[in-house]
Amino acid sequence: MGKYQEPGRSAQRSERITRRQLLAGAFATAGGLTATACRRSSLTAGQGAPPDPTKVQGLPPGDAAGRRSPFVRLTREAGWTFWSYTPLGNIDGIITPSDLHYEVHHAGAAVVDPNRWTLTIHGMVERPIVLNLDDLRKFPSLSRIVFLECSGNSPVSWRSAGSPQDTVQNLVGLTSCSLWTGVAVSTLLREVGVKAGAKWALAEGSDAAVMTRSIPIEKLMSDAMVAYGQNGEPLRIAQGFPARLLLPGWEGNTNIKWLRRLELADAPFMHKEETGSYTDPMPDGKVRQFTFVIEARSIITSPSGGQTLPGPGFCEIRGLAWSGRGRINRVEVSTDGGGAWLPATLDEPVLPMAHTRFRFPWKWDGREVVIESRAIDETGYVQPTRAQLVKVRGTGSIYHFNGIQPWRVTPDGKVTNAIA
């Protein structure tokens, strides 16, 4: 018998369920209703399913049945100590399951007690305030599907274009998309009254990095949100529980998590994340600062690096496209190394500043081929090739790469990074 019991269930009842499940050979999950050595061992993928599930009672309603099937392996692959990648090659649709949302935190994911958390809005305002979580949740709410992307997604693509073994997860996995719920920052700023001359706000996190970024007031007054909800539940710890700044379409770093302070001022604060990090050395020797908007990008998620095609024949090419400047208008796919570009189908909904799913029917003839996609957003911007990007930007940066990513399919069906 494990220690945990569902409220209202007697020990005997839990015992009965345990025995029944064991007899049925059904699986349970670690930390679930009960946890005995025996039930835990049946968690291994490929075990625990009865040969004929119509002949045995299934799992009772509850946590165990709500878990991902033990036959499904979906994990965020750890990058470096600070980040983990969304498994873009193994998920469908446009919403990233919350536990698979990529994470970047410069000093670990802060564990914040929601009862002690506060948000202070001060500086060039008429009426400074300190809000607790209940106060925040009382304001009119809004929900919106928005992608996030770390501007350091694909840092290797600038210098070396990666290695042949790259997967879509480790090359481009620092982007995800969720339904965020929260309060418009414009609502909060109206509450405090912005003083004339205030042009920027410092957003500050309550993590050990005390992450701080300067954000122009225009962005805060247009579509910025203080989000407390993610895909219908409170934010996950890694996403900034209990509340984060959400700036649709802007580089991930500006979306301050574990947000505790907004300080209004007449100039940017020039903290290290906007003077050292997240800036782009340009070929003319200057450094570009405050590159906020994520430019249009797309990626074929399947078939993609590390995957193997079972053989020639029909294969639906699938991928994701997004733009920080609005909606994706078109995605084009080439299956001949960039010669001909044909339109892919965009799956509804096609939302501004959200991942957009595209699909392209393809028949692989079994010969070596290079497949790639390019996004065109509603401003008419066309996603460039890596060569085009490097021509303008040089190779001095590790940020803001959005070049086309080609994949090579060899006759044995293996898929590799074609520009490595």
Ligand X SMILES: Nc1nc2c(c(=O)[nH]1)N[C@H]1C(S)=C(S)[C@@H](COP(=O)(O)O)O[C@H]1N2
The C-alpha atoms of residue 33 and residue 1 are separated, in whole angstroms, by 9
85 binds, among ligand X, Mo ion, none (CB under 5 to 8 A by kind): none
Q: Is 157 in the site for ligand X (CB under 6 A)?
A: no
Name the residue with the smallest CB distance to Mo ion. 150
In whole angstroms, give the CA distance from residue 20 to residue 413: 45
Question: What are the C-alpha distances in Å from 158 to residues 108, 125, 150, 181, 216?
Answer: 27, 42, 15, 35, 28
Q: How far apart are CA 266 and CA 270, in angstroms?
A: 12
Residue 96 CB, nearest approach to ligand X (Å): 9
Q: How far apart are CA 182 and CA 140, in angstroms?
A: 8
Query: Should residue 207 be labelled a site residue for ligand X when binding is judged by CB under 6 A?
Result: yes
Q: Which residues contact 327 (CB under 8 A, 6 or more apart)?
A: 350, 351, 352, 356, 377, 378
Distance in Å, CB of 34 to ligand X, minimum: 33
39 binds, among Mo ion, ligand X, none (CB under 5 to 8 A by kind): none
Closest distance of CB 104 from ligand X, Å = 4
| Pairing label, strands 233-234, 212-216 | unpaired
Residue 177 lies near ligand X (rule: CB under 6 A): no
Contact partner, 355, from Mo ion, ligand X, none, Cβ < 5-8 Å per class = none
**Of 136 and 227, which CB lies nearer to Mo ion in the complex structure?**
227
Is residue 126 within 8 Å of residue 103, measured between CB atoms?
A: no
**Contact partner at residue 238 from Mo ion, ligand X, none, CB < 5 to 8 Å by partner kind:** ligand X
> Mask 374-393, x = binds ligand X (CB under 6 A)?
--------------------
267 SS3 class: coil
Where are the extended beta strands (E) located within 166-285? 175-184, 200-205, 212-216, 225-230, 233-234, 244-246, 259-265, 280-281
Q: Which of these segments, 125-133, 248-256, 302-310, 400-408, binds ligand X (CB under 6 A)? A: 248-256
Closer to ligand X by Cβ: residue 148 or 300 = 148
21 binds Mo ion (CB under 5 A): no
Binding residues for Mo ion restricted to 221-260, rule: CB under 5 A: 252-253
Q: Which of 9, 20, 67, 106 binds ligand X (CB under 6 A)?
A: 106
Sign of the CA dihedral with 86 first, then 92, 93, and 96 last? negative
The item of ligand X, Mo ion, none sharing an interface with residue 207, based on CB under 5 to 8 Å by kind, is: ligand X
Map tokens 């999950």 to a residue.
29
Q: Decide which of Mo ion, ligand X, none touches 354; Cβ closer than 5 to 8 Å per partner kind.
A: none
The set of residues, in sequence order, having a beta carbon less than 8 Å from that of 62 and lying 6+ positions away, is 6, 32, 33
Strands 129-131 and 200-205: unpaired
Residue for token pair 């079994």: 366
CA distance 29 to 281: 49
Q: Does 243 bind ligand X (CB under 6 A)?
A: no
- Count the site residues for ligand X by CB under 6 A: 20
Q: Is 224 in the site for ligand X (CB under 6 A)?
A: no
How big is the site for Mo ion, counted in residues (CB under 5 A)? 4
Cβ 326 to ligand X, closest distance in Å? 21
Nearest residue (CB) to Mo ion, 150 versus 320 = 150
Among 39, 76, 105, 219, which residue interacts with ligand X (rule: CB under 6 A)? 105
Closest-CA residue to 26 (of 10, 42, 13): 42
CB distance 16 to 42 below 8 Å: no
Cα distances (angstroms) measured from residue 254 to each of 205, 273, 294:
11, 9, 11
150 contributes a contact to ligand X by CB under 6 A: yes
Position among 18, 255, 397, 405 found at the interface with ligand X (CB under 6 A)? 255
74-113 positions binding Mo ion, by CB under 5 A: 104
**205 scored as a contact of ligand X (CB under 6 A):** yes
Site residues for Mo ion per CB under 5 A? 104, 150, 252-253
Site residues for ligand X per CB under 6 A? 101-106, 148, 150, 205, 207, 209, 211, 238-239, 252-253, 255-258
